[in-house]
Chains A and B, each alone.
Chain A
Amino acid sequence: EDQVTQSPEALRLQEGESSSLNCSYTVSGLRGLFWYRQDPGKGPEFLFTLYSAGEEKEKERLKATLTKKESFLHITAPKPEDSATYLCAVQARYGGSQGNLIFGKGTKLSVKP
């Protein structure tokens, strides 16, 4: 069964304190792995797509990496405005959920000034 597990569920950081969020997945052939940011009361906002192991993508203080079993979202020197819930999703190439995104439960990040 295709599955996505995100850890930790919640993470509290001080401003400037770098850390990483984890997304572990099992899927019938990975078509793509997606990272989204969700602010309270809003819909998820697309951040990155990763397609193959070894791939990396960056945007401001965020860097996403991918291996064959997991993805990391590294946050360098975070600011309070980076506080949000970060969602990971995978798209399977085969099987019953083929083509549709399977979401993890998210990691709620709080950055204190």
Chain B
Amino acid sequence: NAGVTQTPKFQVLKTGQSMTLQCAQDMNHNSMYWYRQDPGMGLRLIYYSASEGTTDKGEVPNGYNVSRLNKREFSLRLESAAPSQTSVYFCASSGPGGNSPLHFGNGTRLTVT
């Protein structure tokens, strides 16, 4: 029962460095999401993918790119990290139906210095 798996769990970057956050789900879900969570703020949607081969911007997409590699995997890339991108990043997936609940991974804690 792995559910949604995120790697790495922790990462420290210097300003300007790049990295890719990995996410994989084993629930055969079509939809996948990337959120960021900051102190004192609610979870905010960065990008989502309604199905394999499609991606769409969420509320806060600037500075990020995504790739839906296949049905299982959805990656988030920071091309040139900035201190404002210090956050906890959560990947989620959801099953069929327009209002299926999201299943979250345990997050990647990213610090940009």
A residues bordering B, Cβ < 8 Å?
4, 31-32, 34, 41-46, 49, 51, 87, 89, 91, 97, 99-106
Chain A residues whose CB sits within 8 angstroms of the CB of B92 once the complex forms: 43
Q: How large is the interface on B (under 10, 10 to 19, 20 to 34, 35 or more residues)?
A: 20 to 34
Distance, CA A51 to CA B44, complexed state (A): 22
| Contact A101–B4 (Cβ < 8 Å) | no
| Contact B98–A31 (Cβ < 8 Å) | yes
Distance, CA A51 to CA B58, complexed state (A): 23
B99 located at the interface, meaning its Cβ lies under 8 Å from any Cβ of chain A in the complex: yes
B residues bordering A, Cβ < 8 Å?
4, 40-45, 48, 58-59, 90, 92, 98-99, 101-107
Distance, CA A87 to CA B104, complexed state (A): 13
Distance, CA A105 to CA B59, complexed state (A): 16
Distance, CA A91 to CA B45, complexed state (A): 13
Q: How many contacts between A and B, using CB within 8 angstroms?
A: 51
Name the one of B42, B103, B106, B107 contacting A103, with C-beta atoms under 8 angstroms. B42
| Contact B99–A42 (Cβ < 8 Å) | no
| Contact A105–B107 (Cβ < 8 Å) | no
| Contact B43–A103 (Cβ < 8 Å) | yes
Name the one of B41, B98, B103 contacting A99, with C-beta atoms under 8 angstroms. B98
Chain B residues whose CB sits within 8 angstroms of the CB of A97 once the complex forms: 59
